[in-house]
Amino acid sequence: MDNYPINSNSLEKHYHINGDHFGQQYKDHLSDYQSWEQKDHAKDWILFPNNIGVHLSIDETALTNGELYTIVTNKEGKGRRGALVAMIEGTKADKVIKVLNKISKKERDTVEEVTLDMASSMHKIVRKCFTKATRVIDRFHVQKLAYDALQEMRITHRWDAINEETNAIENAKADGKKYVPAVLENGDTKKQLLARSRYLLFKSGDKWTAKQKKRAGILFKLYPDIQQAYSLTHSLRMIFSKNTDKGVARTKMAKWFQDVTNSEFKSFNTISATFYSHYPEILNFFDNRSTNASAESFNAKLKAFRASLRGVVDIEFFLYRVAKIYA
């Protein structure tokens, strides 16, 4: 019974019992929660040294009311039992380091690789706790920054289109005329074109539908800077997608940096500087093509579990149940 989440609302529906009463009985008597050895400090941290492995992921997630927890997982656990190594309240590096250092140095030195994002606190944690591990920045965090820069350009143009339309409406009203928006060849106005292009810019061109291809053609004709920015994001995606070795990837990434510099796009130059400061950790992806997908999947499971309980009221008991399932 302790190995699976119990939804008292579901029990109440199917077995005609008082769900709240049963949930309390499970907490107080049916489970071993009251004698759980980590109960006293569970809200601050829970730790499972036996689950440490050679390939780890570190990430953060919000449990309730936006309160963040740092989570360390073992990739070999594949999001099931044995996956959870630690959950620590907050993201402050010194606090997380203090907890993880409760694991013996001998065990921590067995870790060969840790995937993480670009947060400086995460890098400090891995550098201090897993001194022999290679740090690998998740490729999807890298690509997301490029997508964000592209979308920022699209949104800027959309605001310009909105202001242009607003001014045109005011001018028509002043002239006693009815405003009729200009319609493009696919039936969109400029404002609609920019709003409806959001999702196609996330995808490779060979995955566009016929309508998206037509919309993209119009978008790129009207806004060549968006086309150039899209090309930059696509080329970055291809660097990570191709099964190239680290040396080839380094050369291609250097060319990408040069293309970004030549574009003179402010948003892309900003992320280029961020990438450059994390260059070695980004390139480490090409050693084993490791990502933080397992951590993201684990976070998604936690959110689904939390949703099934309609939120987290008792954090300690929630973490106890998480530990029973994943630790």
| Per-residue pLDDT tens digits for 159-191 | 999 999 999 999 988 988 888 888 999 999 999
R_g of the chain computed on alpha carbons: 25
Residues of the chain with pLDDT > 90: what percent?
55
**Cα separation, 88 vs 102, whole angstroms:** 12
Higher pLDDT, 307 or 45: 45
Query: What's the maximum distance between 2 C-alpha atoms anywhere in the chain?
Result: 81
Q: What pLDDT score does 301 carry?
A: 83
Q: What pLDDT score does 5 carry?
A: 47
Residues of the chain with pLDDT > 70: what percent?
89
Whether the predicted pLDDT of 95 surpasses 50: yes
The Cβ of residue 181 has, within 10 Å, a number of other Cβ atoms equal to: 13
Of 51, 223, 238, 242, residue with least CA distance to 150: 223
Q: What pLDDT score does 4 carry?
A: 46
Residue 16: pLDDT band (50, 70, 90) is low
Whether the predicted pLDDT of 63 surpasses 80: no
pTM of the model: 0.82
Of 107, 117, 105, 169, residue with least CA distance to 143: 117
Q: What pLDDT score does 272 carry?
A: 80
Give the least confident one: 6-20, 90-104, 130-144.
6-20
Per-residue pLDDT of 238-275, as tens digits, reads 999 887 789 999 999 989 988 988 888 888 888 888 88
Instruction: Average the pLDDT over 65-93 and give the result.
Output: 89
Whether the predicted pLDDT of 24 surpasses 70: no
Tokens representing 52 are 């440490």
Tokens representing 213 are 């291809």
Per-residue pLDDT of 271-327, as tens digits, reads 888 888 898 999 999 999 988 888 888 888 888 877 766 666 778 888 888 888 888
Domains by residue range for the chain, with CATH: 32-137+291-326 (3.30.420), 139-287 (no CATH)
Strands 113-116 and 55-64: parallel
Q: What pLDDT score does 10 carry?
A: 54
**Cα separation, 193 vs 187, whole angstroms:** 9
**Cα separation, 305 vs 325, whole angstroms:** 11
Higher pLDDT, 81 or 115: 115
Handedness of CA 164, 169, 170, 172 (dihedral sign): positive
Length of the chain as a residue count:
327
Whether the predicted pLDDT of 204 surpasses 80: yes
User: What mean pLDDT value characterizes the chain?
Assistant: 87
